[in-house]
Amino acid sequence: MALRYAFFPGCVIPAKYPHFESATRAIAKVLDMELVDLPFSCCPPTSNMKLVHYDSWLALAARNLCVAEEQELDILTTCTGCVSTLKEANYIMRQKPNRRRKINRILEKAGRHYEGTIEVFHLLDVLYDHIGLEAIEEKCIYDLNMKVASHYGCHLFRPSYIMYPEFLSPSHSYVPTSIDEITEVLGGEPVKYMRRFLCCGYPLGANVDEDASYEILREKLYYIKAAHAELIAVACASCFEQFELGQVMIKKKYKETYKLPTLYISQLIGLAMGIDNETLGLKEHIHKIKKLLPRLQERTGRMRATL
């Protein structure tokens, strides 16, 4: 039976990067996942609404949880910002009775009530834990043959006691491995680089100071290049924007050229599955992946998935 999820694409991907959504829907189809569209609002972000007005942040997030709970569906998000807000709100609504009562009193004015019966996942968790690496590999008709640097996005895994409580290290920390492991089954080579878990800097640029945010990015890019990566894989639209535009700005300001294509994780998987470049929207990118495409190597005896 198909896995079913309440699909939470967020605000940024549907409006600015529809090709990430189209790539996600395409791989979901190949992997026999059903994505249900529901009237979700903005998550809203931990990097603005939560900082400005905590109760409003929690109430709007809890409203989104209600929308999925009413359909008895777990949520699948495609952005690390969304997953962080919704997972944290879910944690608070379950673990903190005082806040739950307060927020439910507010939601009741809008005819809603959150019981706390659903779970929230990022696409990466669904791919890794629910679908499984083997099932993904089965659908790949190409080996990527490219060196891939992963950037997970801070909000995917911090704070780890909320995001991944079941996997904490003895020092109560956690770092993810899913993008690297997925890259491996796609026939790509995950590249380890220094400062892998450093922030990309995006919220700093969006909120107050782009130049300062690119300073942070520059440090990351330096190590990515030093490790000879050929492309960057991300799981968040904001991180993508930072890498994509940041490279342009860094070139202007410091005359440093990186030209590293950045792909959203669904695009990378789509490439290995043989999904066409139009559906994946590859030509939308500033730093083109075109010159790497001849590297794709057909796996013998594999059939192209039909969409």
Partner 1 sequence: MTVQKVWSLFDRSQLYECYECSKCSGSCPVTLAGDFLGPRKILLKCLQHGSGRVIRDPLLWYCTTCQVCQDRCPQEINIPELLTGLRNKAAKIGNIPERVKFTVEKIAKTGRSVLGFKVERERKRYNLPPVVEISKEEISKILAETGFFKDLKIDH
Q: Are 22 and 53 in contact (CB under 8 A)?
A: no
Beta carbon of residue 132, minimum distance to partner 1 (angstroms, whole number): 27
Shortest Cβ 153–partner 1 spacing (Å): 9
Of 145 and 173, nearer to partner 1 (C-beta) is 173
How near is the Cβ of 68 to partner 1 at its closest, in Å?
13
Nearer to partner 1, 147 or 220 (CB): 220
What would the two tokens of residue 53 be? 């007005």
Nearest CB to partner 1, comparing residues 57 and 121 = 57
Question: Between residues 213 and 247, which has the closer beta carbon with respect to partner 1?
Answer: 213
Q: How far apart are CA 296 and CA 291, in angstroms?
A: 11
Q: Quote the least distance from Cβ 70 to partner 1, whole Å.
A: 13
What is the side-by-side order of every strand in the sheet holding 120-122?
A: 33-37, 3-8, 75-77, 120-122
> CA 90, 233, 304: angle at the middle one, nearest 5?
100
Q: How far is CA 1 from CA 28, 34, 131, 189, in A?
A: 14, 10, 12, 32
CB 254 within 8 A of CB 218: yes
Q: Are 4 and 72 in contact (CB under 8 A)?
A: no
- Nearest to partner 1 of 23, 146 (CB atom): 23
User: Least separation, in Å, of the C-beta of 240 and partner 1?
Assistant: 14
CA distances from 30 to 23, 25, 269 (A): 11, 9, 11
Q: Which residues bind partner 1 (CB under 8 A)?
A: 11-12, 14-16, 18-19, 21-22, 25, 37-42, 44-56, 59-60, 63, 106-107, 109-110, 154-155, 158-160, 172-173, 197-199, 201-204, 206-209, 212-213, 215-216, 219, 279, 281
Task: Report the candidate in 114, 91, 93, 61 with the shortest Cα–Cα distance to residue 162.
Answer: 91
Q: Give the residue carrying structure tokens 């089965």.
A: 138
Give the nearer residue to partner 1 in terms of CB position, either 138 or 284.
284
User: What is the closest distance, in whole angstroms, from the C-beta atom of residue 222 to partner 1 in the complex?
Assistant: 12
Report in angstroms how near the CB of residue 212 gets to partner 1 at its nearest: 4
Output 175 or 292, the one with its CB closest to partner 1: 175
Distances (CA, A) of 276 to 13, 112, 270, 293: 20, 42, 8, 12
